[in-house]
Amino acid sequence: MLRLVGITPGSMPPFSKCIWEEGAAIRAFKLVERDVFQEEGIVQLLQSPCSDELVGYKIPGTRRIQDNLSDLHAQVAANQRGISLIKELINQYGLVTVQSYMNHVQKNAEVAVREMLKTVASRVAKENGSCVVEDEDYMDDGSVLHLKLTLDAIKGEATIDFEGTSPEVYGNWNAPEAVTTAAVIYCLRLRCLVDVDIPLNQGCLAPVKILIPKGSFLSPSDKAAVVGGNVLTSQRVTDVILMAFQACACSQGCMNNLTFGDDTFGYYETIGGGCGAGPTWDGTSGVQCHMTNTRMTDPEIFEQRYPVLLHTFSIRENSGGSGLHRGGDGLVREIEFRRPIVVSILSERRVHAPRGLKGGRDGARGANFLVRKDGRKIYLGGKNTVTVSAGDILQIFTPGGGGFGSP
């Protein structure tokens, strides 16, 4: 991830109100032209101050330009490797054969999703007397995420309509349409819905129409802050879709984004929690669920490279919702800081708990605290930035997953 400057170290500000506060914003730029990396141009864009009438002041685009350039060079190299592998396939088998197999992969995905939608439509019609299902959930500020799922049992098609979702928010959990689309395609290929192993590809979306109302926080303006949309709202979209399909209970519903640093360094991690339970399984404890698969820094490396001491990293016992199948438990993470730095937490499910399904109990809500060196314990809420002193301890309790079925 490019560590752009934003208004806090780590480029994940909890209180950003417009996109300029989240670091350099680049609409489009040709990074490599005629096999030449356009370093001068990208440096100029990254270092240009970000400004907007909503901000009222200018913000540098990046803190450590060399780190950004190294990241971009690595991404370009990865793309070049992919290009060379595709060329090898074409040289060995011919363009027509390679394109045919690419089409077959997409067609197989489409067929698998269509068969799943037919099965789900028949079940829903039997249970509800209709092939239409509605579900909604709430962000912690009260914003509504509404979903109307209309299934066609004959064609194996679905319309996923988010009409009724709240307007763009004056905060950073707005999600560009691509984020919602990514959540939909993720859900459609889950083994709890599609009982075959299919690679992620556009064929999964062929039988699906996605309707996202313009001006909602799932389709915001180009000036809206969006840093929380990918890491928070995407998880809520996933939960609502899976609940509508009656596939599994809600998972922890966020990524518990923690950032800290100063002018010399920045650190960013996401913290796992509890997964929702399903018809035949208990939810997994202490893992990243759904729209993320990020790993954490090993404790030894964490303490060696950063001015911190890791006091606790453990399972949050009994935080998963009870049920015929229990939701997974969340985590407890306690970090002591050894010198003054700026710490930010961007999280959800601190107000609205992860819901259980079919009689299963809700998972426990998360909580964030700061324990000052003098013993004072301060509740930080779900989103906050604080300057800590040496000896202060941050406590993060991540949410558990919802249970499935009556206990």
Contact 405, 359 (CB under 8 A): yes
Check: CB of residue 331 under 8 Å from CB of residue 398.
Answer: yes
* pLDDT tens figures, 213-236: 999 999 999 989 998 998 999 999
pLDDT, the chain, mean: 92
Q: Is the pLDDT of residue 104 over 70?
A: yes
pLDDT, position 131: 95
Q: Measured at the alpha carbon of residue 154, what is the angle toward residues 150 and 159, in degrees to the nearest 5?
A: 20
Taking Cα atoms as reference points, which of 394, 395, 396, 391 lies closest to residue 374?
391
Q: What is the mean pLDDT of residues 243-272?
A: 93
Mean pLDDT of 350-375: 98
pLDDT at 14: 81
**What is the rounded CA–CA span in Å between residue 407 and residue 207?**
37
Per-residue confidence (pLDDT) for residue 1, from 0 to 100: 39
Residue 136's pLDDT band (boundaries 50, 70, 90)?
very high
Residue 267 has pLDDT above 80, yes or no: yes
- Strand, coil or helix: 308: strand
Number of domains in the chain: 3
Residues 94, 109: Cα–Cα separation, whole Å: 23
- Statement to judge: residues 264 and 186 lie in one domain: no
pLDDT digits (tens, 9 = 90+) for 166-204: 999 999 999 999 999 999 999 988 877 888 888 889 999
Supply the pLDDT for residue 8.
62
Taking residue 87's Cβ as centre, other Cβ atoms within 10 Å add up to 11
Confidence of residue 300 (pLDDT cuts 50, 70, 90): very high
Q: Which domain holds residue 87?
A: 19-93
Please compute the mean of the pLDDT values over residues 398-403 and round it to a whole number: 98
**Average pLDDT rounded to a whole number, residues 259-270:** 89
Q: Is 12 contained in some domain?
A: no
**pLDDT at position 210:** 98
Residues 270 and 360 in one domain: yes
pLDDT for position 189: 84
Is 371 domain-assigned?
yes
Q: Is there a single domain that holds both residue 361 and residue 284? A: yes
Measured between alpha carbons, how far is 232 from 225 in angstroms, rounded to an integer? Answer: 13
- Residue 73: inside a domain: yes
Residue 6 has pLDDT above 60, yes or no: no
- Compute the Cα dihedral for 124, 128, 131, 132 and give only its sign: negative
Percent of the chain with pLDDT over 90: 78
pLDDT of residue 10: 57
Mean pLDDT across the stretch 78-107? 97
Q: Are residues 47 and 32 in the same domain?
A: yes
Query: Could you tell me if 384 and 350 lie in one domain?
Result: yes
Residue 320 predicted with pLDDT over 80: yes
Residue 101 within any structural domain of the chain: no
Res 18 pLDDT > 70: yes
Question: What is the per-residue pLDDT for 235?
Answer: 95
pLDDT of residue 369: 99
Q: Does residue 2 have a pLDDT over 50?
A: no
Domain edge (last residue) among 215, 247, 279? 247
Asked whether residue 61 falls in the same domain as residue 145, the answer is no
Answer yes or no: is pLDDT of 20 > 50: yes
Average pLDDT over residues 150-163: 97
Half-sphere exposure of 130 (CA within 13 A, CB side): 6
Q: Does residue 257 share a domain with residue 242?
A: no
pLDDT at position 7 over 80: no
Tell me whether residue 30 is in a domain. Answer: yes
Are residues 301 and 191 part of one domain? Answer: no
Tokens of residue 345, six digits: 């937490």
More confident residue, 54 or 192: 192
The model's pTM: 0.89
